């Protein structure tokens, strides 16, 4: 079945690294995404990774993909207060139009 | 500037009334989507459209209807048949379904009193 799971909440101190984790169940996923949602706003694509990659780095963001364990993580280096938001992981399956979203992880950055 | 707009940002309606949420994009995207977001949950797909004059039900289509008469526009009607319509509604578009990044609008928060 289709299921994407995330922990609900993460709190870090400003300047520390944040790691947000996600697990998915469908091994046919071709694309995996990280979206950011600020309060009362739509979703903004942060980064994505193809299923044939293990890692992708983009400035402060590092995505790690462990296909064997169906585990995806997003690391934010030098976390800032502006990074406080809800982060959603989502998977896109090869044969489908659908994005399957996790329930989101609320990141709180403490000064 | 190119993007997706949704209006209004906040919408209040009485129970039993139909209401239509607007979604417009000037990105020249073929595919458009409507999602519903409830507190503490991810997004759930209501309807999607791959091309003008065509649309398909998503996972939670009951109580909703859509039309796609123009490429730029994909309005969503929340009907009185929707049992629990209070939610945050997000519209998205992409160049084609199943392959490309979906760009999201700012959302409409619907509250049914």
- Binned at pLDDT 50, 70 and 90, residue A53 comes out as confident
Does A45 contact B101 at a Cβ distance shorter than 8 Å? Answer: yes
A49 touches chain B (CB under 8 A): no
Does A4 contact B42 at a Cβ distance shorter than 8 Å? Answer: yes
What mean pLDDT comes out for the span B15-35? 94
A2 touches chain B (CB under 8 A): no
> Does the structure show a pLDDT above 90 at A3?
no
pLDDT given for residue A97 in this prediction: 67
Phi, psi of A110 (to 5 degrees): -90, 140
B22 touches chain A (CB under 8 A): no
B61 touches chain A (CB under 8 A): no
Q: Which has the minimum average pLDDT: A5-14, B24-33, B91-100?
A: B91-100
Contacts with B41 from chain A: Cβ below 8 Å: 103-104
Can you tell me the distance from the alpha carbon of A75 to that of A17, in angstroms, rounded to the nearest whole number? 7
pLDDT given for residue A96 in this prediction: 63
Q: Which residue has the higher pLDDT, B13 or B1?
A: B13
Does B43 contact A102 at a Cβ distance shorter than 8 Å? Answer: no
* pLDDT 10s digits, A5-21: 998 999 999 999 999 99
- Binned at pLDDT 50, 70 and 90, residue A41 comes out as confident
Percentage of residues of chain B with pLDDT beyond 70: 96
**Tokens 């578009």 appear where?**
B93
- Please give the span between the terminal C-alpha atoms of chain A, in angstroms, as a whole number: 40
Q: Which residue has the higher pLDDT, B98 or A77?
A: A77
Contact B21, B6 (CB under 8 A): yes
B51: left (phi over 0), alpha (psi -120 to 50) or beta: beta
What mean pLDDT comes out for the span B76-81? 94
B103 touches chain A (CB under 8 A): yes
What mean pLDDT comes out for the span B51-67? 95
Can you tell me the distance from the alpha carbon of A80 to that of A34, in angstroms, rounded to the nearest whole number? 18
Buried b (16+ CB within 10 A) or exposed e, B79-100: eeebeebebbbbbbbbeebbee
> Does the structure show a pLDDT above 80 at B1?
no
Does A43 contact B90 at a Cβ distance shorter than 8 Å? Answer: yes
Does B42 contact A41 at a Cβ distance shorter than 8 Å? Answer: no
Can you tell me the distance from the alpha carbon of A102 to that of A50, in angstroms, rounded to the nearest whole number? 18
* pLDDT 10s digits, A64-91: 999 889 999 999 999 999 999 999 999 8
pLDDT given for residue A46 in this prediction: 93
Contact B47, B64 (CB under 8 A): yes
Contacts with A36 from chain B: Cβ below 8 Å: none
Does B107 contact A99 at a Cβ distance shorter than 8 Å? Answer: no
């Amino acid at each position: 079945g289709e299921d994407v799971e995330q922990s609900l909440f993460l709190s870090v101190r400003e300047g520390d690294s944040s790691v947000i984790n996600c697990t998915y169940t469908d091994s046919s996923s071709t694309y995996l995404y990280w979206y950011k949602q600020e309060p009362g706003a739509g979703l903004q694509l942060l980064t994505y990774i193809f299923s044939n990659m293990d890692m992708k780095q983009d400035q402060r963001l590092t995505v790690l993909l462990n296909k064997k364990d169906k585990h995806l993580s997003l690391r934010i280096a030098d976390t800032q207060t502006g990074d406080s938001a809800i982060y959603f992981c989502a998977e896109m399956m090869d044969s489908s139009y659908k994005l399957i979203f996790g329930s989101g992880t609320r990141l709180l950055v403490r000064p | 500037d190119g993007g997706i707009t949704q209006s209004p940002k906040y919408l209040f309606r009485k129970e039993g009334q139909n209401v239509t949420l607007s979604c417009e994009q000037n990105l020249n995207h073929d595919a458009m989507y409507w999602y519903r977001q409830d507190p503490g949950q991810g997004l759930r797909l209501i309807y999607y459209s791959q091309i003008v004059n065509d649309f398909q039900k998503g996972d939670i289509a009951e109580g909703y209807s859509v039309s796609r008469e123009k490429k730029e526009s994909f309005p969503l009607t929340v009907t009185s048949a929707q049992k629990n319509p209070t939610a945050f509604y997000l519209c998205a578009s992409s160049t084609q379904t199943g392959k490309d990044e979906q760009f999201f609008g700012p959302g409409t928060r619907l509250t049914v009193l």
